Amino acid sequence: MATATIIDGKDFAARLRAAIAVQVADLKKAHHLTPGLAVVLVGDDLASQVYVRNKGIQAQEAGMNSFDHRLPTTVTAAELLEKINQLNQDPAVHGILVQLPLPKHIDADAVIDAIAVAKDVDGFHPYNAGLLAVGGAGMVPCTPVGCLMLLKHQLGKLAGLRAVVLGRSNIVGKPMAALLLREHCTVTIAHSRTHDLAEECRRADIVIAAVGKPQMVKGDWLKPGATVIDVGINRITAPDGKNRLVGDVDFDSAVQVAGAITPVPGGVGPMTIACLLLNTLTAACRQRGIPVPEVQPAAE
Amino acid sequence: MATATIIDGKDFAARLRAAIAVQVADLKKAHHLTPGLAVVLVGDDLASQVYVRNKGIQAQEAGMNSFDHRLPTTVTAAELLEKINQLNQDPAVHGILVQLPLPKHIDADAVIDAIAVAKDVDGFHPYNAGLLAVGGAGMVPCTPVGCLMLLKHQLGKLAGLRAVVLGRSNIVGKPMAALLLREHCTVTIAHSRTHDLAEECRRADIVIAAVGKPQMVKGDWLKPGATVIDVGINRITAPDGKNRLVGDVDFDSAVQVAGAITPVPGGVGPMTIACLLLNTLTAACRQRGIPVPEVQPAAE
């Protein structure tokens, strides 16, 4: 039985970061501009600390300035908004990311709303969500941008292909659907209330799984040859008693049917930070009125 | 052969306007607030003049204040933006609508962007498009709101139903898809690049046709019993040589297969202005910090 091409997101992301580093070096030389990424972390959630640390390291490796702002869990909403306001004003900061989730006493929507639209490198601000919907040039959330890059790398043009997006979060599902529509796919958004998820999947040339349910999408849900992008990152206890990361797709059965598939880990995950750096580069150029460079991953 | 229920949008819209008038009268009495709608028309396009006139008449019939602003085709972008800025500041104006299309020398996106988000009763501002996408309480474009009302009136709860939206305009298709998703439909957006529009339609419990192609959707494109909302308004020359308005759906064949269908004219069309008045009422209440009333059409 044929098995799918494994889409190596880790390698692709590394080559993308290398290409970004080249552009950053050019910007420094030609425009004396060093893109700066500010990450705000509230509280001491361990997973969030790891994410924030990795974002900082990778920004620096790409030649960018990285600014970490740690605030205690007890910070007030007013203090956090004041911090964001400072970063909005700071000309050395081109991208601002507030690590989610925030403590419950803080209204996350109000915080996201306070970030300057031009510096909103997570693309979560409603104005940027709206620009994505209506076709303007805003900031697009990092994970869907990464998924789209992998898809285009694998398939070339996507026009006319049938895409199913499983999941309708503001962070992945909805912006992913908007991006696929922009690429002229016929797009279906399916979710927990969909009557027959398997049937929706079986019609699709492209399946984006972003539901947070471990190994939900089985091989027999797939159209033979489909391209499968697995956004899920779920920690499960394997039969041997060990913890293991798995996606929303049952890889072992899916790999027998799909044409191409991203693994978990090593698929979509590494693309997210790479695309955050790409957004920061884009934001820096726009804020300085410099044409945004076309960044293509370095050669394989 | 069974024939479909004809969804009488003209009657529904009249009853909705009557219910809005009751709420407006209540607002005046209880809060000394008269919702005000300002319509800006640039140039002398005949169709636009008719639309604007109807909007003004229906706003007044509902007890609202109506402010018409006519500007010559030769108006500069700066003059138009200054007019919008005045309306943004005017406490008697709760809703601002700039009639499209605008003359070519004016950047329509910049004009829409200049309208205060809270007064953007057309729902075309990117911030409102973003709120619709992410699930916030913004202003939603009038035509999709009207379509959704007719659907809910016909079908009750929509959760789990398969909906196909034909067309992906910013004014109808995309916000319609977002609204249907909010109602927990499984939503497919199909368009000119879709390989087999008929096949997509045949799977759908709900078909929204908004492509601007006269009588494109045939009866044999439909699942028996489907609910069909026809947003198209196309002027064609009938075999008898007379001009006639038709929708994007071939009514005569569709009515034999559908469970319910909107006619053209008299279906979606009259709902659009009624929903504009509803948005103006909502905007006025929000701007004054008054709870937004639930408006249900007056009894049949």
pLDDT tens across A18-51, in order?
999 999 999 999 999 999 999 999 999 998 999 9
B151 and B196 both lie in a single domain: yes
Q: Is A91 found in the same domain as A157? A: no
Q: Determine the distance in angstroms separating the CA of B245 from the nearest CA of chain A, rounded to an integer.
A: 29
pLDDT in tens, B218-260: 999 999 999 999 999 999 998 899 999 999 999 999 999 999 9
In a shared domain, residues A94 and A206? no
Residue B233 in any domain: the answer is yes
Q: Residue A134 domain-assigned? A: no
Which of B166, B146, B150 has the alpha carbon at shortest distance from B158?
A: B150
Identify which of A198, A252, A288, A277 has the alpha carbon closest to the alpha carbon of residue A14: A277
**CA–CA distance, B124 with A91 (Å, rounded to integer):** 31
Report yes or no on A9 lying in a domain: no
Predicted ipTM of the assembly: 0.95
Tell me which residue in B136, B168, B181 faces A181 most closely, judged by beta carbons: B168
Whole-number pLDDT of residue B300: 74
- Give pLDDT, residue B299: 82
**Scanning the structure block, which residue is given the tokens 């552009």?**
A23
Query: What's the domain count of chain A?
Result: 2
Q: Are residues A200 and A154 in the same domain?
A: yes
Chain B residues with CB inside 8 Å of A135's CB?
170
Q: Which residues of chain B have pLDDT under 50?
A: none
Residue B173 lies in a domain: yes
pLDDT value for B1: 57
B128 and A131: CB-CB below 8 Å? no
Same domain? For A37 and A97 the reply is: yes
B158 and B238 co-located in one domain: yes
- CATH, residue A54: 3.40.50.10860
Examine residue B130 and state whether it is found in any structural domain, yes or no.
no
Looking at the fold, whether A68 and A153 belong to one and the same domain comes out as no
CATH at B221: 3.40.50.720
Please state the three-class secondary structure of chain A as a single string.
CCCCEECCHHHHHHHHHHHHHHHHHHHHHHHCCCCEEEEEEECCCHHHHHHHHHHHHHHHHCCCEEEEEEECCCCCHHHHHHHHHHHHHCCCCCEEEECCCCCCCCCHHHHHHHCCHHHECCCCCHHHHHHHHHCCCCCCCHHHHHHHHHHHHHHCCCCCCEEEEECCCCCCHHHHHHHHHHCCCEEEEECCCCCCHHHHHHCCCEEEECCCCCCCECHHHCCCCCEEEECCCEEEECCCCCEEEECCECHHHHCCCCCEECCCCCCCHHHHHHHHHHHHHHHHHHHHCCCCCCCCCCCC
Task: Tell me if B34 is assigned to some domain.
Answer: yes
Please list the residues that pair with B244 across neighbouring strands. Answer: B236
Residue finishing a domain among B67, B84, B118: B118
In this structure, is residue B198 part of a structural domain? yes
Q: Which of A131, A132, A159 sits opposite B193 (nearest CB)?
A: A159
Which residue, among B254, B273, B202, has the nearest Cα to B54 in the 3D structure? B273
Nearest Cβ partner for A129 among B133, B160, B195: B133
Burial of A160 (0-12, 13-18, 19+ CB in 10 A): middle
Structural domain harbouring B161: 142-269
Is B129–A134 a contact, with Cβ atoms under 8 angstroms apart?
A: yes
Give, for all 300 residues of chain A, the pLDDT tens digit: 579 999 999 999 999 999 999 999 999 999 999 999 999 999 999 989 999 999 999 999 999 999 999 999 999 999 999 999 999 999 999 999 999 999 999 999 999 999 999 999 999 999 999 999 999 899 999 999 999 999 999 999 999 999 999 999 999 999 999 999 999 999 999 999 999 999 999 999 999 999 999 999 999 999 999 999 999 999 999 889 999 999 999 999 999 999 999 999 999 999 999 999 999 999 999 999 999 999 989 887
Catalytic center residues of B: 55, 99, 122
Chain B residue closest to A194 (CA)? B160
Q: Do A200 and B186 touch (CB under 8 A)?
A: yes
